[in-house]
């Protein structure tokens, strides 16, 4: 980073003067330029690199797409404290996404979109900004349009309860990078679940209106719930080779957590059949690249500047 001198320090500037010297900890820590700096990215013995990469894309896309959705709250939240909290969650997920996409690229470069030879765009950004919707592997719970604050609370609760259970087990992954990402993410997701659980309870027992909105939000997202626990072939293969987790294995734990929150809040599980919207053509799901129409719109916004400058430096 260039040494930017902004003004002559004088005795009025004590609060500020020393801060230009070392701001490494301000935004994101020290290894912000290269997300995997200093990390051994060798694929473990007996693991298919393509499987590992696709598995990382699945977990990375989940985080990236939901982060994009949650960031929509920035400057729109019910109060400043909630604005800051939702941005924190979006930032945590964005950090997870960046590491996971970088890990995917390092494991199997053939899945990274090709750009003109001279392009300086790093691999994780090629994956984020130069893939089309059918190449995204996220669950559809992450992509559906935002809804109100109640629906956002429901989505964070469902998503973080599930992801926390997955990443808690991923701590033991044979892939050192995934294990390290999981160890960090578990702390973040524990907070996300706690935040959402607390607000779920608050809205359930707040006013008539908040309860009505909460129940409506749960109903709206319920069709996307069972998809989280369906095992894709890639997940099965990743689990077998000891680098991934089979989501079916965490279903019982996660359902128990959800039941606990519902019971404390006095909210019933939605009665509607969960399969109303959760399968596309031939039973394909988000993990196969089958998405709702919301994802193309989300990506159109997310990718517009990057795609206009395939040789750009940011």
Contacts of other proteins in 190-249 (CB under 8 A): 191, 194-195, 198, 201-203, 205-213, 215-217, 219-220
Q: Annotate 89-129 with DSSP letters as a single string.
A: HHHHHHHHHHHHHHHHHHH-GGGSPP--TT----HHHHHHH
With beta carbons less than 8 A apart as the criterion, state whether 245 and 169 touch.
yes
How many positions of this chain bind other proteins (CB under 8 A)? Answer: 95
Is the CB of 28 or the CB of 233 nearer to other proteins?
Answer: 28
Q: What is the DSSP string of 135-202?
A: G----GGGTS----HHHHHHHHHHHHHHHHHHHHHHTT-SSHHHHHHHHHHHHHHHHHHHHHHHHHHH
**Positions 27 through 46 that interact with other proteins (CB under 8 A):** 27-28, 32-33
- Give the footprint of other proteins on residues 261-290 (CB under 8 A): 266, 268
Footprint of other proteins on 53-72 (CB under 8 A)? 64, 68, 71-72
Say if CB 140 and CB 129 are below 8 A apart.
no
Please report how close the Cβ of residue 151 comes to other proteins at its closest, in angstroms. Answer: 6
Minimum distance from CB of 46 to other proteins (Å)? 31
Nearer to other proteins, 136 or 246 (CB): 136
133 closest CA partner among 289, 11, 239:
289
First to last CA, the chain: 13
Which is nearer to other proteins, 183 or 248 (by Cβ)?
Answer: 183
Select from 18-26, 48-56, 227-235, 243-251 the region that touches other proteins (CB under 8 A).
18-26
Q: Is 309 in the site for other proteins (CB under 8 A)?
A: yes
What does the alpha-carbon distance between residue 83 and residue 97 come to, in Å, rounded to a whole number? 21
Nearer to other proteins, 100 or 239 (CB): 100
Give, as ranges, the residues between 117 and 176 that touch other proteins (CB under 8 A): 120-122, 124-125, 128-129, 145-152
Q: Kindly state the tokens that stand for 308.
A: 């206009």
Rank residues 139 and 203 by Cβ distance to other proteins and give the closer one: 203
């Amino acid at each position: 980073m260039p040494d930017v001198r902004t003004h002559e320090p004088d005795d009025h500037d004590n609060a500020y003067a020393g801060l230009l010297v070392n701001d490494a900890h301000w935004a994101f820590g020290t290894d912000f330029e290269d997300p995997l700096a200093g990390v051994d990215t060798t694929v473990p013995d007996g693991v298919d690199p393509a499987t590992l990469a696709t598995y990382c894309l699945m977990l990375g896309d989940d985080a990236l797409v939901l982060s994009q959705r949650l960031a929509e709250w920035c400057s729109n939240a019910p109060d400043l404290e909630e604005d800051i909290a939702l941005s924190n969650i979006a930032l945590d997920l964005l950090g997870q996404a960046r590491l996971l996409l970088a890990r995917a690229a390092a494991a199997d470069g053939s899945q990274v979109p090709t750009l003109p030879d001279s392009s300086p765009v790093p691999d994780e950004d090629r994956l984020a900004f130069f893939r089309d919707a059918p190449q995204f592997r996220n669950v559809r719970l992450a992509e559906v349009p935002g809804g109100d604050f109640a629906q956002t609370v429901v989505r964070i609760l469902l998503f973080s309860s599930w992801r926390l259970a997955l990443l808690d087990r991923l701590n033991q992954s044979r892939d050192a990078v995934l294990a390290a990402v999981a160890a960090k993410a578990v702390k973040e997701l524990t907070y996300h679940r706690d935040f959402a659980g607390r607000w779920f309870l608050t809205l359930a027992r707040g006013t008539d209106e908040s309860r009505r909105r909460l129940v409506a939000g749960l109903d709206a997202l319920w069709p996307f719930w069972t998809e989280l626990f369906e095992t894709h072939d890639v997940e099965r293969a990743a689990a077998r080779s000891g680098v991934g987790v089979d989501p079916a294995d965490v279903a019982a734990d996660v359902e128990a957590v959800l039941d606990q929150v519902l019971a404390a809040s006095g909210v019933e599980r939605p009665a509607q059949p969960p399969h109303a919207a959760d399968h596309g053509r031939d039973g394909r799901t988000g993990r196969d690249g089958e998405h709702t129409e919301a994802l193309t719109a989300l990506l159109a916004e997310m990718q517009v500047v990057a795609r206009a400058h395939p040789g750009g430096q940011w």
